[in-house]
Amino acid sequence: MPTPTKIKAPLTKITRFADDVFKLDFAVERKYTRFKPGQFLHLTLEDFDPTQAYWPESRVFSICSAPKTNTLSIIYSVKGAYTTRMRDELVEGGEYWLKLPYGDFIIEQLLPEGETAVLVAGGTGISPYVSYLEQGLENGFGRHVHLAYAVRSPERLSFDDLLSRTRTTETFTQRVWCETDGAEDNGIITDSGPLDLDSVVADVANFPSPHYLLSGPPGMLATFSSKLKTDHGVDEQFIHIDEWE
Ligand SMILES: Cc1cc2nc3c(=O)[nH]c(=O)nc-3n(C[C@H](O)[C@H](O)[C@H](O)COP(=O)(O)OP(=O)(O)OC[C@H]3O[C@@H](n4cnc5c(N)ncnc54)[C@H](O)[C@@H]3O)c2cc1C
């Protein structure tokens, strides 16, 4: 596992999906993107003095760009004081300190070879899966992968391009829920309403040894995890949660 590094990176692009959901792209040297899909980075709004050990206040975000490229991307939703500051203070062209890679929500290491990965994502919870999907599209998945992704409104649907490309992959299936109707969705949305866990379980019933990976709002994770165990008899070893708190 690469040792975490601190880097100052130019913020090249801010993409706004909704008033409270933004994607940030940072330009970095390729050597800094040797993370494992599913890992996260620290972002600080403060200046950092590399000659000092002290790392200022920061927040962590799953990396949602492909490894071994020249870009590091994150998606964040505005929740509390710090992410509100991010919305107000971050500017394209500015340079910001990042620290990475961290975390053990690494799909390839969590699942035995050939067993099914069921990626369950609510909103920005899709982030840790994006780099895994990008890597799988390039090198093959070596297992069946099913994505169950839910957004509150069509404009919050991120990674349309990625989700169009995965649709044509043989070992990949997906279902995308949207709670409200709205703008053009490129045909990616398949279901309306909130994510229906019973349908997810039925969708993957015939694939070998489904492992449920859960990422999203803490309330959703707790509900889904307990429902998988009590309603569907899924053993704990087949449930993996990306804890965001
Ligand atoms: C592994 C992981 C991955 C995550 N990935 C994403 C992601 O991809 N997208 C996304 O939107 N969110 C992600 N989060 C959540 C994100 O890091 C923030 O916690 C969340 O956005 C809360 O918003 P806030 O910081 O504005 O809230 P705030 O109200 O500012 O703080 C929320 C919490 O941060 C902690 N905190 C408070 N002060 C400090 C401090 N000085 N230093 C460190 N922590 C402090 C406390 O637990 C506090 O309750 C992730 C969290 C984790 C743990």
216-226 per-position pLDDT tens digit:
888 999 999 99
Q: Specify the CATH class of 107-241 in words.
A: alpha beta
Q: Which atom of ligand 1 is nearest to the CA of 85?
A: 26
How many angstroms does the Cα of residue 199 sit away from the middle of ligand 1?
31
Q: Is 241 in the pocket of ligand 1 (CB under 6 A)?
A: no
How many angstroms does the Cα of residue 124 sit away from the middle of ligand 1?
13
Architecture (CATH level 2) of domain 5-102: Beta Barrel (2.40)
Q: Mutation test of ligand 1: which of 57, 59, 242 has the most ligand atoms closer than 8 Å to its C-beta?
A: 59
Token output for 238: 């087949």
Percentage of the chain with pLDDT > 70? 98
pLDDT at 134: 93
How many angstroms does the Cα of residue 176 sit away from the middle of ligand 1?
26
pLDDT one-digit tens code per residue, 48-102: 999 988 999 999 999 999 999 999 999 999 999 999 999 999 999 999 999 999 9
Dihedral sign for Cα 67, 73, 79, 80, please.
positive
Name which residue sits closest to atom 46 of ligand 1, judged by CA.
245
Name which residue sits closest to atom 5 of ligand 1, judged by CA.
61
- What pTM, to 2 d.p., does this model score? 0.92
User: Structural domain boundaries of the chain?
Assistant: 5-102, 107-241
